[in-house]
Structure 1
Amino acid sequence: MSVAEHEAAILDLDGTVYLGDKLIPGAGETVQLLREEVGEVLFLTNKAIARRGDYSEKLRRLGIDVERSDVVNSGWVTAQYVSERFPSAAAFVVGEGPLLEEFREAGVTTVTETPGDIVVASMDRHFDYDTLETALRTLEDGAPFLATNPDRTCPTEKGAIPDAAGMIGAIEGVTGQTVDEVLGKPSATMVETALGEVGVDPGDCLMVGDRIETDIRMGDRAGMTTVLVLTGVTDREMIADVNVDPDYVLDSIADVEGLLVE
């Protein structure tokens, strides 16, 4: 199957479509071309420090026309999961305000200063010792330990910054308990949600991303056609160190145009 014969495309955001507040050159044109030549385009991000509406507003500000429903992020997916699986639990959330809002909107009780019934860990730029101690107290009796995403770093125009793996690792280190489930990429929950949004079979879908161990691993496991771009956290030397083989490796999302005319 040629790339142009696919019926939908799922695009990562940070390091793929933009870096910080700047579009990757050619990203806007590529999104438009994918919509014309392939079909629906869904934006899929592991970042939980903003909500879907925030990401859609940012994309519009950068010149890409999207609706909130065109974006799925790990915070929203995790909130829906907790609401369904642990409807009566109080979640101790290690995360920022937008993630807490996501949980509350999903009907989940949240706590931030006292132990809860479960721990949900995410990127938190205000993570401190008190947070770590409350997570320890929550997990002392074997409470479930969830996380929004496994990313070690997040790419920005100024370089990589620490992501959720730092918070997860700290909690695992003091509790001795390994995270039970991660809901963002490359999890089955994330891919099922994304494919449900675009409404196509995985074999008819492109997955374009910059992180080989999440974006490309997820697409590979699901049976999507995977496109690794080198504008974010992965370079060519790193590819050999990960047991994942992208279908295509491109310098930038702008080079997807060449795949569509093959």
Structure 2
Amino acid sequence: MNQIKGLLFDIGGVLYTGTSVIKGAPATIAALQKQFPVRFLTNTTRRLPEAMLKKLTGFGFAVKEEELFTALSATKAFLTEKNAAALTVMTDEASSYFDDFISETPEYVVVGDAFTNFDYAHLNKAFRALNRGAGLVAAAKNRYFQDDDGALSMDAGGFIAALEFAGETSAKIIGKPSETFFHLAVASMGLKPDEVLMIGDDIESDIKGAQDAGLMTALVKTGKFQQRDLERGIVPDLLLEDVNALLLHV
């Protein structure tokens, strides 16, 4: 690990689980921030980036706005670049983040973790927009996440797959495991992918996604990690009991 010059951290499941911080994680991250440039990546799409910063600060982490890369902010950047109108299937809070783009004649249907808004009315409205020619954008396409009660809950992936099937289309994924998403975070540190270590709890979006983008990876056994993840043919460079164990390797 001597070639490591920068660190990317997934947030939920790595720094905290549910409503509880990983014991010792704030001190570990603070120590690592003295040694390396650090960025924090999240596919969380129910809450706004500002809410994520507030939550991390409340847990005792010192995270600057420019160090946080969220699927929502990357999606907004995509729509801004395209100067495109959108129809969102998200929570009301997350949808408000895209108020400047909302249109009844969208160029893109944008889907995040809509929670209780994943109902027939919202999904069918999205389907009809796709049927009229709109493109499908997935802010993130995770299968599941660890909920506040400690159990796994469905994420947006299954609902996005339903829209892909009904709309006979494929979604453009903006957040992890998009190579572009990882490379934006890496470039912000002035580094190359093979100089950066990604630390996550999701074997697919964190580990395989980062590997495909040319990064080294560390999988933590907290959050959504399950023992069966190690049987999927995806091999991280490091396997850690929790984020604190990273101090022994860098």
TM over 0.5: yes
Tell me the equivalent position of 2:98.
Answer: 103
Instruction: Please list every run of 5 or more consecutive structure 2 residues that lacks an aligned counterpart in the other structure.
Output: none
Distance 2:165 2:196 in 1: 38
Moved more, 159-168 or 73-82: 159-168
Identity rate of aligned residues, in percent? 29
1:81 aligns with 2:78: yes
Tell me the equivalent position of 1:56.
Answer: 53
What is the CA-CA distance between 1:192 and the residue it aligns to?
2.1
Q: Secondary structure at the match of 1:206?
A: strand
TM-score (norm 2): 0.92
CA RMSD of aligned residues (A): 1.7
What is the CA-CA distance between 1:115 and the residue it aligns to?
5.1
Distance 1:219 1:16 in 2: 15
Tell me the equivalent position of 2:189.
Answer: 198
What is the CA-CA distance between 1:175 and the residue it aligns to?
2.4
What is the CA-CA distance between 1:213 and the residue it aligns to?
0.3
Tell me the equivalent position of 1:164.
Answer: 156
1:90 aligns with 2:81: no
What is the CA-CA distance between 1:142 and the residue it aligns to?
3.1
Instruction: Please list every run of 5 or more consecutive structure 1 residues that lacks an aligned counterpart in the other structure.
Output: none
Regions of 4+ moved over 4 Å:
none
What is the CA-CA distance between 1:6 and the residue it aligns to?
2.1
What is the CA-CA distance between 1:36 and the residue it aligns to?
2.1
Paired residue type of 1:9: L
1:41 aligns with 2:31: no
Distance 1:72 1:21 in 2: 21
Distance 1:128 1:145 in 2: 18
TM-score (norm 1): 0.88
User: Cα 1:188–1:246, aligned 2, differ >3 Å: closer, same or farther?
Assistant: same
Q: Which structure 2 residues correspond to residues 1-262 of structure 1 after superposition, within 5 A?
A: 1-2=1-2, 5-37=3-35, 39-85=36-82, 87=83, 89-104=84-99, 108-111=100-103, 114=104, 116-125=106-115, 126-158=117-149, 159-179=151-171, 181-241=172-232, 243-260=233-250
Q: Secondary structure at the match of 1:195?
A: helix
Distance 2:240 2:153 in 1: 24
C-alpha contact (below 8 Å) 1:78/1:183 kept by paired residues: yes
What is the CA-CA distance between 1:140 and the residue it aligns to?
1.0
